[in-house]
Structure 1
């Protein structure tokens, strides 16, 4: 098996149909025909074009379902990337990644079919036409001829049809694939932290979000990408690599969306928890958390909320909490939405 690192940036589980966390309708554009993603290539798969006013917001969700022509391991990254009328990328790009573990893999919901999701909140910097694209990249050190294939119908890009007024985007700090400067956050044994709070104590400026005055309820989601640090990987520094490949990692996560009181302290905590196993074959794994229909409690005295994700190492490999690559592409992020009566 080839040892893989996340592909360098070349330019966020909610089931299908559950996208559009914010209020209003969504438009889904699905891939019309199976499309090959050759090794080392980034392929545009699906696109949507919209005309927006300055400051207008849209939630986009992409799904890439991929099969493979090899039983070997091939890396897969999907991105949701928006461009202005001049063709320039509008920050930020949302991404998620995982190794496709082979055409014979039976641990996916459909054997051999790996699905990835990514969420983006697009805020138009200026009025104009924006084109958003779902992209797929395949990468591997395997020899021979092979490719991944994006599956028609099951690969799609959704976008809200109306403005997500007051919605807010979170992303954690820079963390390059190979972490040459030691900027990433690690949880595990040895020199790593035992736990961490994403968007809270990982170097991210703590943001207190104000729900819209007219909102009846709110909702939130977070996508957190983790990478295992097995011995010999190019994704982690040597001191974080305690075990040979095959040890895998187990972590506990808890997504919290907290309504604050007038003193800035917790008034109401809304949370969802999960135990996650990240295998060394998958190497990268993104966890999707959603909290919907949250009431805004008037007794708290504010409409202020704080978002954070607790990540605790349980056993196995140290894991890296992936962040922003190349200054623009976010692998760990969150969005808060208003819901209006």
Structure 2
């Protein structure tokens, strides 16, 4: 009886969460843990002790301070693993934020999130343990010392007393030890949590498009990236955040809310990294595909794609590449492609890297 009551409460309150961010699409643990495209060594700082994340509070979990020259680049990758003291749903957001010597946030903040679906949840790799990942390519605007922080925030409209806990050792922040020379960051346009202005890109039924190209036809300026002259190969990755638009959600424009909650959504994605020829047309296409299911209980979802060790084909006549991500609606709810919130927080983003060995 208690379990059933908790499930009813869980479903009752999820619609009112008004989450900023989303749920992690599953990836193999070994793949998720790797800094898949970094040139050179990385340093990982881990959370030393289990740390509570109370509702409505942002907690600094892992910090690293680094001295950088103007224009130096670092790839940061974070993992936050959390448990919960309640069987109800509690939103969890992780952010990678870099601060200058005066404590001000510098450039973009990378984030990802998921509802922690309860201490009794068995759908995670370790029951009750929710892992989240995020990536940031940080470029120092000026020479100086910067402190990059992994933060966790819990939020929910559930009543009562409860909290999430970041798990020691399995929560970490990883940072390059050397400059990611020539690396490039992509992010898609502004898309606020409630999308009250209708600025976001949607794929699905009703008024939505059937498909979209992220970083290509979603309002993002198309950028043609030049691989470094000394690179022996290149790599790329992308994090794509989607939100299901069930009726009465606070996370989508009203015109995009076609079906009642419980319909769920299925989308196909194709991540492409294209080497162009001298005329600006396709010479070699490298791609990775996936079918994603986002449940309405999850409501938000972030999926990770990567392409590593791509040879640079000299016969193409250029070292120019185009990065883009195709999203096609298959069935169920219309989905929103989440973008930049509050001017600085990036939910959907990509990175291209040079490999020098």
Q: Which runs of 5+ in 1 are unaligned?
A: none
Q: Verify: 1:151 aligned to 2:150, yes or no.
A: no
Counterpart-to-counterpart distance in 2, 1:16 and 1:241: 32
Determine if contact 1:20/1:159 at 8 Å carries over to the other structure: no
Determine if contact 1:73/1:281 at 8 Å carries over to the other structure: no
Q: How many residues end up aligned between the 2 structures?
A: 338
* 1:96 alignment counterpart: 112
* 1:130 alignment counterpart: 146
Q: 1:35 aligns with which of 44, 48, 51?
A: 51
* 2:243 alignment counterpart: 227
* 1:74 alignment counterpart: 90
Q: Quick check: 66-75 or 162-171, which moved more?
A: 66-75
Offset, 1:16: 4.7
Q: 2:271 aligns with which of 245, 255, 259?
A: 255
Q: 2:129 aligns with which of 113, 136, 146?
A: 113
Q: Verify: 1:45 aligned to 2:95, yes or no.
A: no
Offset, 1:68: 1.0
* 2:259 alignment counterpart: 243
Determine if contact 1:20/1:26 at 8 Å carries over to the other structure: no
Q: Verify: 1:141 aligned to 2:141, yes or no.
A: no
Offset, 1:70: 1.1
What do residues 252-311 of structure 1 show as CA deviations (whole Å, max 9, x unaligned)?
000000000000000000000000001111111100001000000000000000000000
Secondary structure of 1:239's counterpart equals: helix
Q: Verify: 1:295 aligned to 2:323, yes or no.
A: no
Counterpart-to-counterpart distance in 2, 1:15 and 1:262: 35
Counterpart-to-counterpart distance in 1, 2:230 and 2:35: 23
Larger relative helix fraction: 2
* 2:7 alignment counterpart: none
Secondary structure of 1:15's counterpart equals: helix
* 2:8 alignment counterpart: none
Q: Which runs of 5+ in 2 are unaligned?
A: 1-10
With the length of structure 1 as denominator, give the TM-score of the two structures.
0.97
Counterpart-to-counterpart distance in 1, 2:219 and 2:350: 15
What do residues 238-260 of structure 1 show as CA deviations (whole Å, max 9, x unaligned)?
21111121111100000000000
- Over aligned residues, Cα RMSD in angstroms? 1.2
Q: 1:204 aligns with which of 196, 216, 220?
A: 220
